[in-house]
Structure 1
Amino acid sequence: MTSKPTLVLLRGLSRDQRHWGSFKSLLQQSLPHYQVTCLDTLGNGTLLDHKSPLKMDEYGQYLLAQLAEHEIKQPILVGLSLGGMVALSTLAQKPEQIHHVITINSSSNLSPWWQRFSLPWALGHLLFAKRKPHCSRLEYGILQFTSVQQNQNIALLQQWSEYRKEANTKLSNSLRQIIAAATFTVDERLKSVGKVSIVSAMQDRLVNPACSRQLAQHLAAPLFRIENAGHDLALDQPQRLIQTIIQALDNPATTRP
């Protein structure tokens, strides 16, 4: 167990801690008085052989068990997309055990379905993805609709393709995660808890930035907007995201009881 406050990074749909890339080390360098760690959600990465639940609350329950196992107390949960939903569910269940939650490009039942997930846009990139040498066409398609800054980064694409060969989320788990995300409902208890900051990439073409705005308004939470970034904000604007996380941690809402 570390005596330092801990930031726990959580990735999104069918992604795992490897996909944070260099962001974890950059964040650690910028916040030396914190411990930065990553945990996988059920069905992804190190938890590849687990069945992904159909309900977000179950992801939160498992995350609480992971935090207890690693003896992480009062963490700051930083969740991208589905990871943000998991973080919010965890906070709603045990608010006294979580210091703060920072969501990045997350959606909820507060927004209409066509804003929550741009399915035609995603499918178009997946179906018509180009072939690149030694690269997965599927990963190329994913990179196209999640990034606006790095979507032609072949070295990154090759790395993601290797990740897919080494350990890839099962199709059944991906579908179950989609269902869990699509049915995610914001727990009304969160309105009185506080402890939430919302971050939104303004060029997110997968999840409409309006989803973050609706979430922030509903929870009376601070909203931080970042320009020139797509859905994978940690990839497109890592330094801006780090500055925003620091700003969120310094915000009075972070210590709201």
Structure 2
Amino acid sequence: MPQTKNWILLRGLARGVGHWGSFVDKMKERFPEDNFELIDLPGNGARNDETSPTNISDYVKDLRSRSEFVKKGEPFKVLSVSLGAMVTVEWMREYPHEIKKAYLVCTSSSGYSPFYQRFLLVNYVKSMNLLGAKNNEALWEKTILGMVTNSHERREAEILPLMAYTKEHPMSIENMLRQIFAASRYRFPEEAPGDIQLLGSYGDRLVSPKCTLRIAEKWGLKPTMHPWAGHDIPIDDPRWLVEHLL
């Protein structure tokens, strides 16, 4: 019988637990004996009425207070994307014995990569559409998915439930800016703070794939790189990601 594992899944900038799309179901199919916690970052998803911290360490404090695995003293793994991956790194740095292994997807670090690689310049113009999309979940999702996914087929398969989730849990521009500020100044430690697998994609059009490669170089790790997916690998190629969580 396979050993049961605990998982915490963390989304990134301006994304809630409902933005995993069908990925969570595929992960549960692959690991049917495992336990899962999907926790929103403050300001995201069902917590959209809360104020997002501007310090990554404050996200760690918040999430630890909400995790049943932490409360029970049970070990767990973390799968996290982008900003969520930064929170995971800080969590491992502050509490090195809690996270057994972390899978960090398409993330970056201040001081490791220049700002124009951490958020590719073409996306600044596209992001302006979000300023007028507060009450237009279709425009909001189409704009974001256009920046973070490369597969038209996968976008079409996921967009309707994502739009419904966004309509129910709209993200404030203020919180998005606060999260961007927190991410922009967070710097990873000089050495990997634990057992980490870096996953990136050569097709990432939001954050340069050079960011994942740079972290891997600094930490002496071998990254796993998807050949074509966008920044949101869980949406673009969920089966590929699931098979790399072994």
Give the structure-1-normalised TM-score. 0.85
Q: Structure 1's 229 and 192: CA in aligned 2 closer, same or farther, altered over 3 A?
A: closer
Q: CA RMSD in A?
A: 2.3
Distance 1:67 1:96 in 2: 15
Deviation at 1:72, TM superposition (A): 6.4
Partner of 1:137: 139
1:88 aligns with 2:73: no
Q: Which amino acid aligns with 1:178?
A: I
Partner of 1:99, secondary structure, is strand
**Residue 210 of structure 1 corresponds to which residue in structure 2?**
210
| Contact 1:194/1:221 (<8 A) preserved | no
Deviation track 1:38-61 (CA, whole Å, cap 9, x = no partner) reads: 111111113222211111111112
User: What amino acid is the match of 1:76?
Assistant: K
Query: 1: distance between equivalents of 2:73 and 2:20?
Result: 20
> Which consecutive residues of structure 1, in runs of 5 or more, have no partner in the other structure?
247-257
Identity of matched residues, %: 28
Structure 2 CA distance for partners of 1:153 and 1:212, relative to 1, 3 Å: closer
Unmatched segments (≥5 aa) in structure 2 = none
CA positional deviation for 1:155: 5.4
Checking the alignment, whether the CA contact within 8 Å between 1:126 and 1:138 is kept in structure 2 is no
Question: Is 2:10–2:80's contact at 8 Å kept on the other side of the alignment?
Answer: yes
Report 1:1-257 matches (<5 A): 4-68=4-68, 71=72, 73-109=74-110, 110-124=112-126, 127=129, 136-150=138-152, 153-154=155-156, 156-188=158-190, 191=191, 193-246=193-246
The amino acid across from 1:49 in the alignment is D
Deviations 1:131-171 (A, max 9, x none): 9xx96212211111111013774453332222222111221
Q: Is the 8 Å Cα contact of residues 147 and 235 (structure 1) preserved in structure 2? A: yes
User: Which residue does 1:251 correspond to in 2?
Assistant: none
Higher relative contact order (Cα pairs below 8 Å, separated by 6+ residues): 2
The verdict on how the C-alpha distance between 1:43 and 1:72 changes in structure 2, with shifts beyond 3 A counting, is farther
- Give the paired residue count: 238
Give the ranges of 4+ consecutive aligned residues of structure 1 lying more than 4 Å apart after TM superposition: none
Q: When the two structures are superposed, what TM-score results if normalisation uses the length of structure 2? A: 0.88
SS of the aligned residue for 1:96 comes to: coil
